[in-house]
Structure 1
């Protein structure tokens, strides 16, 4: 990992492990960690779910795009919100400043991990099912990924080690 300011960006579905694996990866590589969902909540002083209720899913995606496009960091692991890949502008910015890693988890695995789909602050269209959201987002993640890491039936430590080894 010798270019792109030494940053690694993790993308993928809610429940794929971006935040947890991001912390482990950052610790293993002596990098800082930044979670864009937490950044949004800190700057707006408001939980994602409330932002979603107030501005709708498209409004939350615009807020996310704005925050991502303002990122100017080096030597960070960046965990994005699952909807970051909807913004070509945000993803081009992330491509310019980081290596993008898609944490690929299957639909059954995500269902096993996520129990708060309706209250988690997921930027989805009204009445859109998790399965529809999954199907809609997969090609977006694949489009922007420099590296795809399968996550099913692997520990978070194994996944972090795999990412580090492949980016070395």
Structure 2
């Protein structure tokens, strides 16, 4: 089976849904943010603080484009859509699924988003980041799952159903 790559805003539930989805479908699971932290030996927010936005995106691109897996659910960081090589790799090797949520829901779920290592340009707001990224998620996704008002279990079931139809 092709890999399943989950994309979307931080707080969309990619990692949580990904673990459950992998169990239900009998697949492996990778969280690419954890791969980045393992490679760099630091938390995401500390990597960003040390190497800056562009440096972090270069690391994120390298880690994601180098993922060589089969039959795996891959939860990505929200900024992976800025990494063209990584996204082209995922488009070729995987079913890319966009977990779509409203800005209001993302804002509610995130709380203190700076603690999560959310990649913001200087002076950028979460709303402008949301508006900038959503078209990129749409562009790269094979399937978009509108997850508004759904629990993690429901999102997982919806994704599993769509993937089985492919």
Q: TM-score range by the shorter chain?
A: over 0.9
From 66, 73, 79, the equivalent of 2:69 is 73
4+ residue runs over 3 A deviation: none
- Preserved CA contact (<8 Å) 1:58 1:123: no
Q: Does 1:14 pair with 2:6?
A: no
Instruction: Name the counterpart of 2:35.
Output: 39
* Partner SS state of residue 83, structure 1: helix
- Which deviations, in whole Å up to 9, do the C-alpha atoms of 1:28-84 show, x marking residues without a partner? 101011000001001111000000000111111110000011110001000000000
Instruction: Name the counterpart of 1:91.
Output: 87
Offset at 1:119? Answer: 2.0
- Identify, as 1 or 2, the structure richer in helix: 2
Q: Distance in 1 between matches of 2:108 and 2:52?
A: 26
Q: Distance in 1 between matches of 2:40 and 2:46?
A: 10
Q: Distance in 1 between matches of 2:123 and 2:52?
A: 12
Q: Does 1:137 pair with 2:133?
A: yes
Instruction: Name the counterpart of 1:108.
Output: 104
Which sections of structure 1, spanning at least 5 residues, go unmatched?
none
Q: Distance in 2 between matches of 1:57 and 1:122?
A: 10
From 108, 113, 117, the equivalent of 1:117 is 113
TM-score (norm 2): 0.96
- Preserved CA contact (<8 Å) 1:105 1:152: yes
Q: Distance in 2 between matches of 1:123 and 1:112?
A: 18
